[in-house]
């Protein structure tokens, strides 16, 4: 499990942002794991697949 200090980034102005995508179905503070082809929530099983755009 990642440490809490890896989940957030603080700008020089003091603004705090999350460095990971949060799950839209779970409560706040539940982050999704990033795999090579998808984002997945380990709590509820919600999955978003990454889009592979083919350029011609």
- Using only C-alpha atoms, the chain has a radius of gyration, in whole angstroms, of 14
Mean pLDDT per 10-residue interval, the chain, length 56 residues: 75 89 90 93 94 75
Distance CA 52, CA 20 (A): 20
For position 6, what pLDDT does the model report? 76
| Element of type H or E holding 9 | strand 8-10
Cα–Cα distance list, 27 to 18, 31, 36, 44, 56 (Å): 15, 9, 25, 11, 41
**pTM more than 0.75:** no
Per the DSSP assignment, residues forming a β-bridge with 52 are none
């Amino acid at each position: 499990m990642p440490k809490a200090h890896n989940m957030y980034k603080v700008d020089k102005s003091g603004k705090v942002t999350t460095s990971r995508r949060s799950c839209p179905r779970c409560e706040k503070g539940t982050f999704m794991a990033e795999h090579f082809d998808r984002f997945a929530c380990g709590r509820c099983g919600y999955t978003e697949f990454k889009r592979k755009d083919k350029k011609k």
